Amino acid sequence: MNNIKQNKKKYIGLLTGIIFFLLTCIFPAPESLNYKAWLTLGVALLMASWWLSEAIPLPATGLVPLVIFPILDISSIKQTAQGFSHPIIFLFMGGFIIGLAMQHTGLHKRIAYYIISKFKKGPKSIIFGFMLGTAFLSMWISNSATAIMMLPIALSIITVLNENKIKPKNNNFDKALVLSIAFSATIGGIATIIGTPPNTVMAAMLSELYNYEISFVDWLKIGLPTSIILLPIAWIILTYLCFPINSETIVKDSIIKNKIKSLGKISQDEILVGVVFIFTAFLWISRKWISSLLENIIPIGAINDSSIAILAAIILFILPSNEKNKKRLIDWEVVQKIPWGALILIGGGLALASVISSSGLAAWIGALSSNFDAISIILIVLLSVAIIIILTELTSNTATASTFIPIFGATALGLGQDPLLLIIPATLGASCAFMMPVATPPNTIAYASGHINITDMVKAGVWLNITSLIVIGIIITLILGPVFGVELNKIPIWVN
């Protein structure tokens, strides 16, 4: 039955997108809009319909601009393809390779078990330990990979408790633990610019549309506080509000100790990957300081977050492995596991965003948005976040971000505001959908475990969605101005 509904949704989305596109080809453009911008609107509506309905695979929709824009003479193939070679693509690629190296050597498990082992006072503490470990890993590894890795660890603890009959008759501990993996994987990804696709899409589109760079450290200043606030709130919602856990559930220290013991002594490969990881994080954090220090030797701007990520990847290919049958820490066979589709999806979004700007469509949307002047800008910000959260519950957060970030940027300009005022909260909102299994990969993975049903997820997720909206509002009010220099009713110089 679900498959029939899904297929129906896909066919409707496929046809809707084609109809939107054909209408712009058949009917003339409005007087205030040039014909290229009108056709671009048709392509944008087609891609949005296909992305939101997943009519075809998301990366496949990302390839649409490479075909349609040159044919319609909107943009040449050379110009369109530039979106697929944007520096942000290589930042994400380097981040993926670092994450794969951690998984390949087993370092990610050692980090997770170590963090969990520090929380041994009771079931609620154990859940918080899982959440902390999951969130930390999700800052550096994709949230789906983190959830896939952490869930079996959680399930093994649930199995031992069931076998030893040391848990109460209700399944609150099971449900809270499984959902804690999903929620913390998503929350942890918010913290860094490489932690989740919406963050990377946002950074890439700001660079493409406005030539504005958000560095790793810049985003950390707003993403990390958001994660730090949401993580304990999610824990409270799970263990106190929705699935109360009493002291009958006791997780023995020996369970975690046996898991750590099974990993054996830390290997040379794990140590080397850990050193590269710390070295990369240090360069990301101190990049601007290093650039200013070496400005007489290396041109300003030569060192950026993308080049640092690729440097780390190259080092991992060079460093020797101490394991049998392995010459280097990673090889190309390992790197082939990179989610290349995500990179193509981002490239397609950038190609579309570039033409939305260059064709004049963004300016037209901005002019229409000026009609909302009478509404409080704070209300508009919160409404934008709410829309993104609701849409993300029904479709991919990457697709939602790719579709709406250019629109929100143009809307902000039409209201005489800094584009960051709508783009950053919308980006945060794209990672704050917790109610539905389809909302995020970690939610899907948790649901597939069989330990929770949709009612359980909605029960906890609705509270976390509402809380996220409030937290984002507070974060934007307190941090956006000091960190990014955003001022109300003022368009920054860099927009031009």
pLDDT exceeding 70 applies to what percent of the chain?
Answer: 88
pLDDT digits (tens, 9 = 90+) for 354-393: 787 788 887 787 666 656 655 677 888 888 888 888 877 7
pLDDT digits (tens, 9 = 90+) for 233-242: 999 999 999 8
**pLDDT of the residue at 5:** 67
Q: How confident is the model at residue 105 (pLDDT cuts 50, 70, 90)?
A: confident
pLDDT digits (tens, 9 = 90+) for 128-143: 988 998 998 888 877 8
**Domain segments of the chain: what residues?**
1-74, 87-335
pLDDT digits (tens, 9 = 90+) for 33-61: 899 989 998 998 898 888 777 788 878 98
CA dihedral (62, 203, 150, 462) positive or negative: negative
| Over residues 405-426, mean pLDDT | 88
Q: What is the mean pLDDT of the chain?
A: 83
